[in-house]
Amino acid sequence: MPQQTQMLSILDLLEMKRVGEKISCLTAYDASFSSLIDLAGIDVMLVGDSLGMVVQGKTTTVPVSIEDMVYHTKCVTNARRRAFVIADLPFLSYFSSENALINAAELMQKGGAQMVKLEGAHTVIIDALVNFGVPVCGHLGLLPQSINQLGEYKVQGKKSRDAEKIANDAKRIEQAGASLLVLECIPAELAKKISQELTIPVIGIGAGLECDGQVLVLYDMLGISIGKRPKFSKNFMASSIGISDAISQFQRAVKQLDFPAAEHSYN
Ligand code: KIV
């Protein structure tokens, strides 16, 4: 009889943190890439609102709508067999608990996501979502939805006061009931400290080697994004024979602690 592929759950990700196995994660936006990523054994697919930039050609993630997110999440989950799927709540889709619950329902019921991600330490919103059975992934460090406040995409938490705030916010997010946390573009030492302090898995992007897992924007790691690739990313296509091979190389590099290297990290 053919072996049934078991879909990963949050318990599998928690167990990976407990035993020290790194969690691999890539963004995905459509069925064909979803299938390739899944077949390569990547643990988590994130339907990121980065789709606004890499798929829709916008300059920021701000214009992405909940309808866009539901559409792309559905495309990804249609082809997924094993990977755990997280979908982003887009800009201003979680300004109140009610608003967040309505939009999380869209992503989970129509899109098929297993978890939603939101940017910032909005603990009241996280608590409300969790109380209604919505698993939440937090996101701290560089918050792309706040680009119009930040003015530029750059490393966060370099000053000790800012680092302290990020570390405290991470604890508050865990206490509010989040099951996962993404740390984007912060010094490796800070990400290491947060990963050690939290019991929930911490997935890094530009946050050094010592997070519990690594995520990259798919189009960056395939070298097909418009514009300059961020320092923390790596073009895995450069040394591969094709897309599936590049994704498998990323998978191996994360599991074997070969990625990210020092050149992809911040001090
Ligand atoms: O939207 C996205 O792709 C993300 C990653 C950068 C973590 O949130």
pLDDT at 2: 54
Task: Kindly list the distances between the CA atom of residue 67 and the CA atoms of 16, 88, 144, 165, 196, in Å, as whole numbers in the listed order.
Answer: 33, 12, 19, 33, 37
- Closest residue by CA, ligand 1 atom 6: 217
CA 63 to centroid of ligand 1, rounded, Å: 15
Q: Taking the model in full, what pTM does it have?
A: 0.97
Q: Distance between CA 194 and CA 202 in Å, rounded?
A: 8
Peptide bond into 260 cis (omega under 30): yes
CA 217 to centroid of ligand 1, rounded, Å: 7
Q: Distance between CA 267 and CA 244 in Å, rounded?
A: 32
CB of 49 sitting under 6 A from ligand 1 = yes
Q: Sorting pLDDT into bands at 50, 70 and 90, what band is 227?
A: confident
Nearest Cα residue to 13 out of 111, 132, 119, 114? 114
176-203 burial code (b ≥16 CB/10 A, e <16): bbbbbbbbbbbbbebbbbbbeebebbbb
- Closest residue by CA, ligand 1 atom 1: 48
| Predicted confidence (pLDDT) per residue in 169-185, tens digit | 999 999 999 999 999 99
% of the chain at pLDDT higher than 90: 97
Catalytic residue among 184, 189, 197, 210: 184
* Residue 263 annotated to the active site: no
| Predicted confidence (pLDDT) per residue in 36-84, tens digit | 999 999 999 999 999 999 999 999 999 999 999 999 999 999 999 999 9
Task: Kindly list the distances between the CA atom of residue 198 and the CA atoms of 86, 118, 167, in Å, as whole numbers in the listed order.
Answer: 20, 18, 10
Query: CA-based diameter of the chain, in Å?
Result: 58
| Predicted confidence (pLDDT) per residue in 105-143, tens digit | 999 999 999 999 999 999 999 999 999 999 999 999 999
Query: What CATH number should be reported for the domain whose range is 10-264?
Result: 3.20.20.60
The residue extents of the domains of the chain are 10-264
pLDDT at 104: 98
Nearest Cα residue to 96 out of 129, 68, 66, 62? 129
pLDDT at 131: 98
What number does the ligand 1 atom closest to the CA of 61 have? 1
